[in-house]
């Protein structure tokens, strides 16, 4: 990404190259704070940088339409995935730090749906409720704190009514990282594998689920969010570096999703199809924001973008969301930066209660 390129060049002392990368980022309309980057300190008094600072400020968009729906009274949860049960109104939130899933009922009361490490859960990432089968799908992966299990990953399936594990699907070998989930037709389940750079599929056959690889290893660079079209024929995959891809759900054929030059599609975490658009949680392409990418009638190209939420004071690395009615409920403050390189909480940091922000999408 342009900003990352600029930072790398600035740290290496290549001022001209750093300015070239910053020019590229600003020209694309990215909204971010150049002054917050320590690597750019040596450039701040140059005429070129002053001009870029002014243009970057002009790109700034403050959109605050969201409202906090509820908070979870567990500051060190470090949540990543969220799902919603339309039948009961309950939310499910996965924890990286606590290696568990929390259930928040319709009244806003939080309780453990699974205990820490239950059923062999590691870091919990993407979650998805299947209302038809009354199950909760959960991505879980062993991170640096898992020791010899680092790089192992599985997709777990829970009974919503009882909380009991009814299925576990391990990805063979390593390194893998089951990250996010989309539900297809006839019981199909698609999920991204960030460390493998690939896309997996579960298909139900004779009351059993069988896993296969839909898109091969290394096709993507850290695939994350995944959405699916209403006809279940197209998958939309967020590649953290490359941007968005469109995948044929039957054949696995993948290609970049075309978009206008000034529409920035990298750095996406959560991704959802809604009303002919893709709604994305973008947390590493400049300023964190929730954005709508409007698609053409064929749903095979982006025509424009609309920022739905940006520069919200609650934001601290928003990660994923879930569409509920005409809103998206987003984990606003995952506080992922509070984990060190070993996946453990840093010492001496102040944490806040995780907040779920509801933002209108209609």
Q: Verify that 169 and 229 share a domain, yes or no.
A: yes
Q: Residue 35: its pLDDT value, please?
A: 65
Q: Verify that 140 and 223 share a domain, yes or no.
A: yes
Q: Verify that 36 and 151 share a domain, yes or no.
A: no
Q: Residue 336: its pLDDT value, please?
A: 96
Q: Verify that 55 and 186 share a domain, yes or no.
A: no
pTM across the whole model: 0.92
Q: Verify that 29 and 157 share a domain, yes or no.
A: no
Q: Residue 98: its pLDDT value, please?
A: 96
Displacement of CA 78 from its chain's centroid (Å): 14
Q: Verify that 304 and 343 share a domain, yes or no.
A: yes
Strand partners, 94: 101
Q: Do 11 and 43 form a contact (C-beta atoms < 8 A)? A: no
Q: Residue 250: its pLDDT value, please?
A: 96
Q: CA nearest 332: which of 350, 306, 308, 312?
A: 312
Name residues whose C-beta falls within 8 Å of residue 330's C-beta, 6 or more positions apart in sequence. 66, 82, 270, 281, 290, 309, 318, 319, 320, 321, 356, 357, 358, 359
Blockwise average pLDDT, block size 10, the chain, 362 residues = 74 88 83 77 88 86 95 98 98 97 96 97 97 97 90 97 96 96 96 97 88 96 97 96 94 97 91 98 89 97 96 96 97 96 92 98 94
Q: Residue 36: its pLDDT value, please?
A: 67
Helix axes 47-59, 15-27, angle to 10 degrees: 20
Q: Verify that 35 and 81 share a domain, yes or no.
A: no
Q: Residue 9: its pLDDT value, please?
A: 86
Count of structural domains within the chain: 2
Here the tokens at position 187 are: 């019981």
Q: Verify that 272 and 329 share a domain, yes or no.
A: yes
Which spans in the chain are helix H? 2-11, 15-27, 47-59
Q: Verify that 192 and 293 share a domain, yes or no.
A: yes
Q: Verify that 199 and 336 share a domain, yes or no.
A: yes
Residue 63 DSSP one-character state: B
Q: Residue 27: its pLDDT value, please?
A: 84
Write down which residue in 10, 33, 59 finishes a domain. Answer: 59
Q: Residue 59: its pLDDT value, please?
A: 83
> Cis peptide before 175, with omega less than 30 degrees from 0?
yes
Q: Do 202 and 188 form a contact (C-beta atoms < 8 A)? A: yes
**Domain ranges, residue 26:** 2-59
């Amino acid at each position: 990404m342009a900003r990352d390129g600029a930072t790398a060049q600035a740290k290496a002392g290549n001022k001209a190259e750093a300015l070239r990368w910053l020019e590229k980022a600003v020209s694309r309309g990215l909204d971010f704070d150049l002054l917050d980057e320590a690597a750019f300190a040596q450039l701040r008094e140059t005429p070129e940088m002053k001009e870029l600072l002014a243009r970057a400020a002009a790109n700034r968009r403050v959109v605050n339409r969201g409202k906090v729906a509820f908070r979870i009274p567990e500051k060190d949860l470090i949540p990543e995935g969220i799902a919603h049960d339309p039948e009961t109104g309950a939310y499910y939130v996965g924890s990286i730090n606590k290696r568990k899933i929390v259930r928040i009922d319709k009244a806003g009361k939080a309780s453990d749906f699974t205990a820490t490490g239950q059923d062999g859960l590691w870091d919990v990432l993407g979650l998805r409720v299947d209302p038809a089968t009354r199950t909760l799908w959960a991505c879980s992966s062993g991170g640096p704190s898992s020791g010899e299990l680092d790089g192992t990953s599985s997709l777990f399936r829970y009974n919503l009514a009882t909380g009991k594990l009814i299925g576990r699907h391990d990805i063979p070998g390593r390194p893998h990282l089951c990250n996010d989930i989309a539900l297809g037709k006839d019981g199909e389940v698609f999920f991204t594998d960030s460390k493998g750079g690939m896309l997996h599929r579960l298909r139900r056959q004779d009351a059993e689920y069988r896993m296969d690889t839909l898109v091969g290893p290394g096709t993507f660079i850290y695939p994350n969010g995944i959405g699916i079209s209403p006809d279940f024929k197209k998958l939309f995959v967020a590649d953290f570096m490359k941007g968005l891809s469109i995948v044929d759900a039957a054949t696995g054929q993948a290609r970049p999703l075309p978009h206008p030059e000034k529409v920035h599609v990298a750095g996406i975490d959560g991704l959802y199809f809604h009303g002919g658009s893709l709604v994305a949680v973008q947390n590493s392409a400049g300023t964190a924001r929730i954005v709508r990418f409007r698609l053409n009638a064929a749903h095979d190209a982006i025509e424009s973008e609309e920022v739905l939420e940006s520069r919200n004071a609650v934001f601290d690395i928003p990660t994923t969301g879930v569409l509920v009615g005409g809103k998206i409920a987003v984990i606003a403050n995952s506080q992922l930066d509070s984990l060190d390189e070993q996946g453990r909480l840093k010492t001496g940091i102040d944490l806040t209660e995780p907040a779920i922000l509801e933002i209108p999408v209609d």
